Structure 1
């Protein structure tokens, strides 16, 4: 019987914490429209509030050192307003479960396609099988949404896929360029805050002044700090402690947990076909992961 080290225990705890952080983010983002806040307000919170912590850290660590200007520009754009606004717009049309399946769920499939197109890296049979299951589950979910009255859900699904394309590009480039956590925070938060906040303040529609206090605080805390900063720290610790394979396998639970929370908290209807699609997606995600057990200590 292998005894897990404290580092492995906290690594698994961090990975499962990310599952609930991301799943609740799906719910919080879905109900944001009910608070009177616009998608532009949510984007401003994501960059502006996170910068309250990111700016002092960046000034201390100076993460721009070692990065070329082109790298800073590309990473900042990929994690910038176009990506975020696509995702927030998706929640205006599609339920939380769709956010999980078309963003988190499509990442392995997109990564495989990027590998084939850009690097001529052919996937193994297991990865192909998992990708097929993911694709089938996405098609089934989209078809079921249209059949049960969600005619505009496809718009949200498409926007989520665009968001997944942006995020997959970030994962690919950050690995290829060996981008560190502080460099991600600098590019994804500080640079975008400098560029976006003046545009939002001067020209974009806002419901910030009319938003009730409680929903405003919920969105401010969750959009501003939790996914950007807390999620990043947890991912880094989990990957370092239990390996990328184990971390990815646990994160496969995000679409299913997001769909379940959407049904329990928001009352979103999950038909039997949608539940089967989520199960199929989870199996597909687990199949695509190259799992590597952590070394016993």
Structure 2
């Protein structure tokens, strides 16, 4: 009996390898799109041809139009949950990944380099998500996640904390905004999990609500340079809005299905280093030595917090 079992096990493993490779490729595509999105947003915020308000508008406009049909397929509140509580979760979803998140994250890129955004936003997201999951979802704070959290805190200090103490211009303002954006996204993640709404429906809620709230204010009261900006600058922001907003969501969902949630999320640890590397040739931004140290610490901390080594540990028991 044992011989038959041993002969039967290799076949599904071999068959599953292409699927896992495709999942890994999708995860890598996701973090590449995230990193490129941060660099392009930083370019739009600092190039001078577009205002920050233009960048935010271009980031949400096309995804909002593409996702409108999904709003007609939103599920009702689950049985046993009051409409008020379900509505509160929807508000948290809209705020945590919608207009407040976009304004905070994009605004931070006006003050601080893309490398800081790549380290502090992905680094703070698992930190706040872990704390909220313990408080509201009853999840346990494991030793591995604790070590990862400490590394993320040390990395954040290395990336931006020392500039707060040293008073290095306005960079610290951007760093603080990145951390706040990470906290907002964490609230969105927990609210999404408790709401039972699908990822695409949540994206529709986020982008359409942001567009509806922001557009009237943008058109009538905010500084717009769209009519004078080069078509190339406008075009790359529109492409980025779809690539880093919608395509990355599709790639990430595929990676989760093929690899599992924790291994797919662990790929986010590559985002800080990749963003910093892309910012060098595309923006001419060279991170300080302390920033590189912080990027390494944040990357390792994100990997630990997301359970990057769980699969390795299990497979070697």
State the TM-score, normalized to the length of structure 1. 0.89
Q: Provide the secondary structure at the position in 2 that maps to 1:31.
A: helix
Q: 2:129 aligns with which of 94, 111, 121?
A: 111
**For this pair of structures, how many residues does the alignment match?**
292
Say whether the 8 Å CA contact 1:242–1:293 is kept in structure 2. no
Q: Provide the secondary structure at the position in 2 that maps to 1:66.
A: coil
Q: Residues of 1 paired with 2:21 and 2:142: CA distance? A: 31
Q: 1:64 aligns with which of 69, 74, 77?
A: 74
Q: Residues of 2 paired with 1:185 and 1:10: CA distance? A: 24
237-246 vs 121-130, which moves further:
121-130
RMSD value over aligned CA atoms? 2.4
Say whether the 8 Å CA contact 2:97–2:206 is kept in structure 1. yes
How far apart are 1:37 and its partner, in Å? 1.5
Q: 1:16 aligns with which of 28, 31, 46?
A: 28
Say whether the 8 Å CA contact 1:54–1:185 is kept in structure 2. yes
State whether structure 2 residue 20 is matched by structure 1 residue 27.
no
How far apart are 1:146 and its partner, in Å? 6.0
Alignment correspondent of 1:204: 222
Q: 2:274 aligns with which of 257, 265, 269?
A: 257
How far apart are 1:147 and its partner, in Å? 8.3
Alignment correspondent of 1:51: 64
64-73 vs 229-238, which moves further:
64-73
**Within 5 A, what are the aligned runs for 1:214-233?**
214-223=232-241, 225-233=242-250
Alignment correspondent of 1:40: 53
State whether structure 2 residue 257 is matched by structure 1 residue 240.
yes
* Alignment deviations for residues 72-95 of structure 1 (CA, whole Å, 9 cap, x no partner): 333223222211111111001100
Q: Residues of 2 paired with 1:210 and 1:49: CA distance? A: 20
Q: Residues of 2 paired with 1:26 and 1:145: CA distance? A: 21
Give the structure with the larger helix fraction. Answer: 2
Q: 1:269 aligns with which of 262, 283, 286?
A: 286
User: Tell me, which stretches of 5 or more residues in structure 2 are unaligned?
Assistant: 1-9, 78-85
Q: Provide the secondary structure at the position in 2 that maps to 1:270.
A: coil
Q: Residues of 2 paired with 1:126 and 1:247: CA distance? A: 17
78-87 vs 112-121, which moves further:
112-121
Q: Residues of 2 paired with 1:7 and 1:179: CA distance? A: 27
Alignment correspondent of 2:3: none
Say whether the 8 Å CA contact 1:63–1:186 is kept in structure 2. no
Greater C-alpha radius of gyration = 2
* Alignment deviations for residues 260-295 of structure 1 (CA, whole Å, 9 cap, x no partner): 111232221223222122112111122212245499
Say whether the 8 Å CA contact 1:102–1:160 is kept in structure 2. yes
User: Tell me, which stretches of 5 or more residues in structure 1 are unaligned?
Assistant: none
Shift of the 149–266 alpha-carbon distance from structure 1 to 2, 3 Å rule, reads farther
Q: Residues of 1 paired with 2:231 and 2:147: CA distance? A: 48
Say whether the 8 Å CA contact 2:37–2:244 is kept in structure 1. yes
Q: Provide the secondary structure at the position in 2 that maps to 1:206.
A: coil
State whether structure 2 residue 202 is matched by structure 1 residue 173.
no
